[in-house]
Amino acid sequence: MTAQPRFRRVTRFGPVQVGTYYDGRGREKHTAACTAPRCGFSADYDSRAAAELAARTHRCPVR
């Protein structure tokens, strides 16, 4: 079983949160996840800029 990542530098772009963490191999990863109910969007990226771009352009399919 893997440990939960400890997020740092968490920012919010509308309903989407972007956070930075270290994966199991010690590499820095960035996650964008939507907090809207029933949306389910989340993705991991290698760069912070890519995660922030995904957060800014995300549109929830459920309204």
Determine how many CB atoms are found less than 10 A away from the CB of residue 51.
25
pLDDT at 60 over 70: yes
pTM exceeds cut of 0.75: yes
Residue, of 63 and 50, whose pLDDT is higher = 50
Phi first, then psi: what are they for 56, rounded to 5°? -70, -30
- Beta partners for 62? none
Average per-residue pLDDT in the chain? 90
pLDDT at 33 over 60: yes
